[in-house]
Amino acid sequence: MRVLVNDLWSSGAKTGIGHYTAQLMQAMRRQAVGDQIESFPGPWLTAAHGLGRRMRSALQREAKGKTGPSPHGWRAWCVRQARSLGRGVLTLHLRFRGAGCDLYHEPNNIPLATDLPTVATVHDLSVLLHPEWHPADRVAEYEARFREGLGRCRHFLAISEFARQELIRKLGLRPDRVTRTYMGVRPGLGPAPEAEVQATLQRLGLPPRYFLYLGTIEPRKNVMTLLRAYVKLPAAVRERCPLLLAGGWGWSSADVAAFLDAEARHRGVIWSGYLPEEHVAAVMNGARALVYPSLYEGFGMPPVEMLACGGAVLCSTAGALVETIGSHAHLIDPLDEDGWRTALHRAAVDDDWLTELRRGAVEAARPFTWDRCGADTLAVYRTVCGPDRRELRKAG
């Protein structure tokens, strides 16, 4: 079996899809004895894509004071033209590289056009169900290409049972065409010695104790509710436990940026920007608790990885979070500002409660492994390819 996987998003600064693609590829290559798991595109296309992402991020930062580029504005036009050109080049590259392959896997929702049997990972349906959380150009891309792309797929992967059921209910897919493949915990994330953690925090200029929010700052992540709850804590509590926002500015983050500058920064909130991967373990281990108020999640990687580090999690009840975190976190309705304020206050002062939240955390995260994700994904590949196609490849 020879499979071609689009690993474009696994380069550069990674968010959820990038981590998923990179870790899945490594896991499958460890396990695919006798099979070939290949990636595309090559280095020069990946570099061009990285430049495009940086240009897009610069446009987002320039437009941070707005709700996002108008679908008719020059920024959106530039993005559309760049995406169309890039997609055309990638499609041609796929057709060239796909010669002799048995399967194409698209890990980022919308597959490219190809005659190869296709599997797509659909992480969530937030762009379709909540377009207000996404920039206009992304919504337009989904409206133009998503359902067409679905029609080219033999099988779909979902990263939680919640996401799987949404694909079945909202898109009308047959249950036997959608397989759940949980994401895993990245290598190197686990309990760390206190001395090493504090040394890293000192190098990064971070306080010895803090609440941690980890993720891109964008509407779906609901950071504003968290900030409003936090700044209402008593001053002594905020001095005792600052709030660290570790994440880059995403689309439509102007309200959060303005509130941070006007109200939150001088009330104990620290913004560090994107957190390099080599520091994630130490920053998670050093946190009093991870706070994750998201409005919608297809899986929720940071809370699961915080459990793997043995940490406490204050988490919303949205999307897949109850499924993946469940009883091992303190759960709060995402829009319950008073509930978040109460939980933050208790987490700052009640050591016994935090100890109880941390109990069994590492064990709860243990089933979420990339090796398991890789094995489940390879099983789907083999089912889609079928014995006849594999035997034909061997004969050739």
Residue 195: Cβ within 10 Å count: 8
Determine the Cα–Cα distance for residues 292 and 302; give it in Å rounded to an integer.
8
pLDDT tens column, 244-273 = 999 999 889 999 999 999 999 999 999 999
- Residue listed under structure tokens 């796929």: 94
Determine the Cα–Cα distance for residues 36 and 18; give it in Å rounded to an integer.
21
pLDDT of residue 56: 56
Type of residue numbered 321: L
Determine the Cα–Cα distance for residues 245 and 253; give it in Å rounded to an integer.
13
335: tokens are 């829009």
Output DSSP code: residue 115.
Answer: S
Q: Is the pLDDT of residue 32 over 70?
A: yes
**Domain ranges across the chain:** 2-184+369-395, 194-365
270: tokens are 């620290």
Mean pLDDT of 195-209: 96
* Sequential DSSP letters for 158-198: ESSHHHHHHHHHHH---GGGEEE----PPTT-S---HHHHH
pLDDT tens column, 83-140 = 667 777 888 888 888 889 999 999 999 999 999 999 999 999 999 999 999 988 889 8
Give the gyration radius of the chain's Cα atoms. Answer: 22
Mean pLDDT of 192-198: 96
**Fold equal for 2-184+369-395 and 194-365:** yes
Nearest Cα to Cα of residue 341 among 267, 247, 246: 267
CATH architecture of 2-184+369-395: 3-Layer(aba) Sandwich (3.40)
Q: Checking phi first, is residue 52 left (phi over 0); if not, alpha (psi -120 to 50) or beta?
A: alpha
Which residue would you say has higher pLDDT here, 346 or 86? 346
Taking CA atoms, 384 is separated from 78, 331, 380, in Å, by: 38, 38, 6
pLDDT of residue 93: 81
pLDDT of residue 99: 87
pLDDT of residue 324: 96
Let me know if domain 194-365 sits in CATH 3.40.50.720. Answer: no
pLDDT of residue 66: 45
> Kind of pairing, strands 36-40 and 269-271?
unpaired
In this prediction, what percent of the chain has a pLDDT beyond 70? 86
Determine the Cα–Cα distance for residues 212 and 244; give it in Å rounded to an integer.
5
